[in-house]
Amino acid sequence: MPPRRFSRLTEFVQAACGEPADVAASLGLLAFRCGGVDVGWIAPTFAARLARWPLWFQCLPDSVTLRTTPDSPEMRSEAVAQVAAALRAEAVIDGWRDERVSVAPAFGADELFRVERAATRHFGLMAYASHATGFIADEADRRLWISRRAATKSVDPGRLDNLVGGRIAAGFSPSQTIMKEAWEEAGIPMSLLGIIKPAAVIQVAYPVPEGLHQETLFSYDLPLPGHFTPINQDGEVASIRQTSVAETIEAILDGEFTLDAGTVTIDFLIRHGLLQESADDLAHLRRLIRG
């Protein structure tokens, strides 16, 4: 049997929930600025590519600044769109989704610009997503519905995921996103979404090949009746299966889960009193997840 990737759940959460500035510093990333605020982190190799567009990107030894004339959200969005499209053509940016996400100093704040979802990691931008932990509501022995991502996914192909999860596109709210994704990823009708519950807001940050992945996850609890079987609708999920709490924990420690989904799942297990950990270990996990 191959060794576990993680010896304890705290080790998994530590890998997922880094401090963005600390992770960026360890990777030697440059601050990415727009509208007078830091909005992301950029690898020096990517900054060198952006230097080809000096009209829009001011590249200094320690930072990259997006500036346009006029310096408006619309013009910034257009500039970034042109650059991203060029880098896509050069196979620098892959996994193109034709889906723009909003960039702002904080969620719900005034928008600075919009960018193709596939480019967010290259710019080290804070992304936003909604995740729902699906579980069978009418069983005393708690069982979770777990998805396996399709092998064709550009990010984390074949890894385990929450039953429902998706990036929040520009113009969408967390709840609108979870409603849309619930049908696309698991075939869950609106009639079963009436008791979905907002549960937590979790931030993750960790190194990726492009540089830094940082994301705010709006977590939901999704109780489902025992007679309902989720069925993927959009082809982005290879399979969906029920797992016991013990099986779920083993899969997390074995490194089968994405860091995002595993952290959401650990938080679910803590909140529902399903972890056999000491009080000190539970408190430590809560601190790591909540920052």
Q: How many CB atoms lie within 10 A of CB 74?
A: 12
Per CATH, which fold does 30-123 belong to?
A: Transcription Regulator spoIIAA (3.30.750)
Strand stretches in 20-136, DSSP E: 30-34, 37-42, 57-60, 63-66, 100-103, 113-116, 126-136
Residue limits of CATH 3.30.750.160 in the chain: 30-123
Taking each helix axis as running N to C, give the angle between helix 9-16 and helix 259-271, from 0 to 180 degrees, rounded to the nearest 10.
130
The CA distance from 74 to 100, in Å, is 13
* Chain-centroid distance, C-alpha 26: 21
- pLDDT tens per residue across span 124-176: 999 999 999 999 987 778 999 999 999 999 999 999 999 999 999 999 999 99
3-state class of 39 per DSSP?
Answer: strand
For 90-115, the DSSP string reads: TTSS-S--S-EEEE-SSTTSPP-EEE
pLDDT single digits (tens) 70-111: 999 999 999 999 999 999 999 999 999 999 999 999 999 999
**Radius of gyration, alpha carbons of the chain:** 20
The mean pLDDT value of the chain amounts to 96
Q: Where in the chain is the domain with CATH 3.90.79.10?
A: 9-18+127-290
Q: Which residues pair with 100 in a beta bridge?
A: 116
Is residue 289 predicted with pLDDT exceeding 60?
yes
Per CATH, which fold does 9-18+127-290 belong to?
Answer: Nucleoside Triphosphate Pyrophosphohydrolase (3.90.79)
Task: Give the span between the Cα atoms of 182 and 222, in whole angstroms.
Answer: 10
